[in-house]
């Protein structure tokens, strides 16, 4: 038996925490009732739903009534952007976002342009950060919504969200502010008042909850048009019977991730920095992507000249290391990552990117193994490219 795989793709998904799984199981069979039903089984499910909502709200510093449970980060982003845009279109049709957002945001904005909305896609600097001044300059009398992610899923760069919120608070008219915070739980403070945001998206499977569940925080008074229709669930904002087991699992994982935040951040920062130092020292022409300090504790993103990202991932997989690329080539596209190109990387370098994201199971020995394997893999791929 060889060693178990080294998993370094926590930004993509995380295993369900044992505590979350244990909390979920009773709601598949013993307490399977519909939370909208008034008899005992339904009331038990409703109690679990309310408790989960309270626990999530406590970490966000908001009212439980401000939370909408969704099917994940994509739906949360879509509901925030489409919901506000269509609800507020009588007062304005201009939206501001950045060129490095997740496609759940970018494609929602693309969709809105078909309905006459105008979208400004702000540029970022070489670290992937947007300047608050750029947001201020982009505001018009028709701006209704700004959407800037809290931390980038590819390169880990943390955006200056409170500073952008301050810009919007000084604006002559009301502009609502959404942030995609999917990568942030267990690392960053998510108090919505400290961030200064009106809407915030989360996805359960990024921090040890199950897949297929997420939430959207909506500040009281924010206009929001529902995007699916049926029953009156989630205060008439998102129809459909609530997924009680998944909601319970997500709330349990969220509670644990936030309680352990300081310890986790300290440990992962140390391992991340060990990884970054090792890669930059051992691999010629290696480039760190993203901000050197204002970045997620678990994210190390690199670009290697003369290397194809897909080939790199396949070679690492054969060596027992699971990672991902900033390039979209693994989804059958030859186009490089929109995030890396927005940061100014030439396409040929952006195609040779590698994202290593750490998590609860990552050890120092695993980091050292990667630092032993990766330089040889990059050297071999570069040599084969030259020979070709």
Q: List, by residue number, the catalytic residues.
A: 329
The pair of structure tokens assigned to 5 is 């795989």
Give the residue ranges of DSSP H helices in 61-91.
73-88
Q: How far apart are CA 84 and CA 178, in angstroms?
A: 10
Give which of 84, 94, 89, 34 is closest to 227, Cα–Cα: 84
DSSP 290-356: S-SSSB-TTEEEEEETT--HHHHHHHHHHTTEE-B-SSGGGGT--SPPHHHHHTT--HHHHTTEEEE
Give the residue ranges of DSSP H helices in the chain.
18-24, 40-60, 73-88, 103-113, 132-138, 161-169, 192-195, 233-236, 244-259, 261-282, 309-318, 338-342, 347-350, 364-387
Q: How far apart are CA 59 and CA 255, in angstroms?
A: 8
Q: How far apart are CA 139 and CA 39, in angstroms?
A: 51
Q: How far apart are CA 186 and CA 297, in angstroms?
A: 10
Strand partners, 95: 119, 145
């Amino acid at each position: 038996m060889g060693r178990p795989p080294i998993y370094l793709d926590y930004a993509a998904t995380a295993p369900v925490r044992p505590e979350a799984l244990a909390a979920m199981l009773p709601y598949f069979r013993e307490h399977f009732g519909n939370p909208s039903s008034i008899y005992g089984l339904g009331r038990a499910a409703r109690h679990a739903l309310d408790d989960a909502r309270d626990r999530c709200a406590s970490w966000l510093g908001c009212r439980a009534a401000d939370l909408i449970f969704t099917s994940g980060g994509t739906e949360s982003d879509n509901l925030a952007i489409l919901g506000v845009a269509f609800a507020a279109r009588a007062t304005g049709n201009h939206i501001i976002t950045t060129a490095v957002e997740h496609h759940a945001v970018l494609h929602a904005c693309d969709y809105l342009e078909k309905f006459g909305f105008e979208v400004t896609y702000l540029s970022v600097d070489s670290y992937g950060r947007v300047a608050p001044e750029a947001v201020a300059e982009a505001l018009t009398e028709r701006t209704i919504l700004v959407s800037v992610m809290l931390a980038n899923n590819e390169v880990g760069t943390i955006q200056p969200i409170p500073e952008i919120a301050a810009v919007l608070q000084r604006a002559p008219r009301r502009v609502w502010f959404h942030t995609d915070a999917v990568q942030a739980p267990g690392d960053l403070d998510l108090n919505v008042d400290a961030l200064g945001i009106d809407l915030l998206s989360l996805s359960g499977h990024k921090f040890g909850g199950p897949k297929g569940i997420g939430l959207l925080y909506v500040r009281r008074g924010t206009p929001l048009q529902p995007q699916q229709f049926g029953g009156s669930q989630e205060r008439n904002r998102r129809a459909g019977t609530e997924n009680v087991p998944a909601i319970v699992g997500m709330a349990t994982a969220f509670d644990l991730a936030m309680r352990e935040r300081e310890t986790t951040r300290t440990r992962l920062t140390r391992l991340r920095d060990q990884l970054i130092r090792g890669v930059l020292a051992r691999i010629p022409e290696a480039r760190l992507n993203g901000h050197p300090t204002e970045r997620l504790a678990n994210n190390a993103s690199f670009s290697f000249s003369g290397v194809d990202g897909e080939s790199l991932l396949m070679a690492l997989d054969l060596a027992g290391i699971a990672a991902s690329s900033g390039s979209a080539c693994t989804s059958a596209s030859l186009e490089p990552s929109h995030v890396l190109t927005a940061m100014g990387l030439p396409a040929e370098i952006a195609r040779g990117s590698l994202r290593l994201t750490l998590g609860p199971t990552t050890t120092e020995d695993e980091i050292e193994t990667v630092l032993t394997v990766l330089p040889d893999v990059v050297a071999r791929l570069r040599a084969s490219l030259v020979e070709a």
